[in-house]
Amino acid sequence: MVDKLKKYQFLFEELVKRDFKKKYKRTVLGMAWSVLSPLLTLLVMKMVFTQFFGRTMDHYTTYLFCGNLIFSFFSESTSQGMQSLMDNASIFSKVNVPKYLFLFSKNVQTLINFGLSLCVFFLFCVIDDITFTWKLILLVYPIVCLILFNIGVGLILSALFVFFRDIQYLWSVFTMLLMYMSAIFYTIDSYDYTVQCAFLLNPVYLFIRYFRKIVIDATIPTVWFHLLMLADVIIVLGIGCWMYKKYNTRFLYYV
């Protein structure tokens, strides 16, 4: 795969540039929306949920921002990744190129947006009197895992979308359900232990919880927590790669 990426490096770079320019085409603020969009969402959620969930919680703004930051990155990456094959059907139906390049380019574009939002997030942490420790370096682990997880989900969704166009509507409903199940604006501490364990079955919640543990609590999650997150990534990425390999030639007949 690395050799192919080097071979098609020019194409990959052009795809990233195209996707990035296309996202902000004919917008007045351009790239500024990468920062403004999560901030506006955070503002709305803070206004709505602070009165219900944040009255007795310390650093609720940071708590809320953690959840919104991670979920927005996941949602944007997977939603755009789902369209990656169909959006580029005119290219790979005429030229033999690795089809995963189109998905990777989408993920690079969303990763840039995430990086900009992450800088704003750290600024909010300072404003919220969060004390940074050396443990902040460990955020590299969930970020890398989340990137790979998004790629894996994107591989699965983009493959399914070629055969079943209905998947885009089902995914929008599923992501909305997933948002409410990821404890973005509420805490699960008041639930029974069994229910709290059930939340760990949600991979997105794992990434959010890891961020909150490091940033807000300044504690390192347990080893099994790291392994559980890694297992989710390996399973999803493995299924996605298998689907691309199995249906690689069949894609051409459905685009």
Which residues of the chain, if any, have pLDDT below 50? none
From the list 192, 226, 193, 194, the residue with the least C-alpha distance to 209 is 226
Q: What is the per-residue pLDDT for 3?
A: 63
Model pLDDT for residues 111-125, shown as the tens digit of each residue:
988 988 898 888 888
Three-point CA angle 247, 253, 255, nearest 5°: 95
Report d(CA 227, CA 195) in Å as an integer: 20
Sign of the torsion formed by the C-alpha atoms of 234, 217, 199 and 207: negative
Q: What is the per-residue pLDDT for 125?
A: 87
Q: What is the per-residue pLDDT for 24?
A: 62
From the list 10, 6, 73, the residue with the least C-alpha distance to 38 is 73
Q: What is the per-residue pLDDT for 33?
A: 62
Two structure tokens written together for 98: 């690795």
- At 216 the three-state DSSP class reads coil
Report d(CA 11, CA 3) in Å as an integer: 14
Two structure tokens written together for 121: 């997030």
Report d(CA 246, CA 255) in Å as an integer: 16
